[in-house]
């Protein structure tokens, strides 16, 4: 029988520049399965700006992408000890945001972008956050299928949710798209869908559109 213990731990995140506490916007961007924060953050270079701080936390679960050596990727969870991973993710992301916001005298707008697997993590995190979220962007993924929708509604009733889907994304099967359509219909929230020509990746032109 599994038992649990709490202990202090450390995890990493990257920022687009050294925070000054004067930025108008903060964007927390959550990578997909098997990615690492430094490579993911590069995908946002087209929108780097001194008034916009972009934060890329790195998931705490690591694995070799092929075999037992070589490239390493990070993931937000697997099916094993899933609920514990969700709890740890939320605590980690809360700590990142609070540490960053401690630099500000005037709070910036807070935006969350989740890509692929990071979309589910983003929705779970946003739904439990006590911070006002300006925008929640779910790119190449969607709302976690098993989340408490009443919790999502209560936390995000004033937050626009933007779904971004590529027309050639192999991960967005008809079944997954139908599942997301069903979930979104049950949520009486501000929502928008953006489609683009392309696959499972972050595109600069689409980034500029959502800004």
Say yes or no: domain 13-210 is CATH 3.40.50.1820: yes
Q: Choose among 60, 40, 52: nearest CA to 100.
A: 52
Residue 191: in which H helix or E strand, if any?
strand 191-196
Give the residue, 11 or 185, on which the prediction is more confident: 11
Q: What is the pLDDT of residues 10-34, one digit of tens each?
A: 999 999 999 999 999 999 999 999 9
Mean pLDDT value of segment 82-104: 97
Q: Which residues pair with 62 in a beta bridge?
A: 74
| Beta-bridge mates of residue 95 | none
Average of pLDDT values for 106-117?
A: 98
Handedness of CA 19, 155, 138, 94 (dihedral sign): positive
At residue 23, the pLDDT reads 98
Show the CA angle centred on residue 6, arms to residues 55 and 14, nearest 5°.
15
User: What pLDDT is recorded for position 188?
Assistant: 83
The string of pLDDT tens digits covering residues 67-82 is: 999 999 999 999 999 9
pLDDT, tens digit, 9 for 90 and up, residues 118-169:
999 999 999 999 999 999 999 999 999 899 999 999 999 999 999 999 999 9
Say if residue 88's pLDDT is above 90. Answer: yes
Q: What are phi and psi of 166, to 5 degrees?
A: -85, 145
95: its two tokens: 């700590």
Distance, CA of 61 to CA of 167 (rounded, Å): 30
What is the rounded CA–CA span in Å between residue 31 and residue 57?
8
Q: From 45, 57, 51, 132, select the one nearest 92 (Cα to Cα).
A: 57
Q: Residue 58 above 90 pLDDT?
A: yes
- How far, CA to CA in Å, does 140 sit from each of 6, 39, 94, 154? 34, 17, 23, 24
| Average pLDDT over every residue of 100-112 | 96
3-state secondary structure of 141: coil
How much is the average pLDDT of 194-210? 95
List C-alpha distances in Å: 181 to 147, 155, 178, 202.
15, 20, 5, 22
């Amino acid at each position: 029988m599994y038992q649990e213990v709490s202990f202090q731990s450390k995890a990493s995140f990257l920022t687009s520049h050294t925070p000054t506490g004067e930025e108008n916007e903060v964007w927390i961007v959550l990578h997909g399965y098997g990615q690492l924060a430094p490579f993911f953050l590069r995908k946002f270079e087209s929108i780097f700006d001194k008034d916009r701080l972009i934060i890329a936390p790195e998931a705490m679960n690591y694995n070799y992408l092929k075999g037992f050596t070589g490239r390493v990727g990070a993931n937000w969870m697997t099916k094993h000890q899933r609920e514990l991973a969700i709890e740890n993710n939320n605590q980690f992301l809360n700590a990142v945001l609070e540490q960053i916001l401690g630099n500000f005298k005037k709070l910036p707008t807070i935006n969350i972008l989740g890509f692929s697997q990071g979309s589910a993590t983003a929705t779970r995190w946003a739904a439990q956050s006590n911070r006002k979220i300006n925008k929640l962007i779910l790119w190449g993924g969607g709302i976690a299928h098993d989340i408490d929708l009443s919790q999502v509604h209560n936390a995000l009733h004033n937050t626009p949710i933007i779904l971004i889907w590529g027309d050639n994304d192999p991960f967005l099967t008809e079944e997954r798209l139908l599942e997301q359509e069903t979930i979104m219909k049950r949520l009486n929230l501000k929502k928008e869908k953006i489609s683009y020509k392309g696959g499972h990746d972050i595109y600069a032109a689409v980034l500029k559109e959502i800004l």
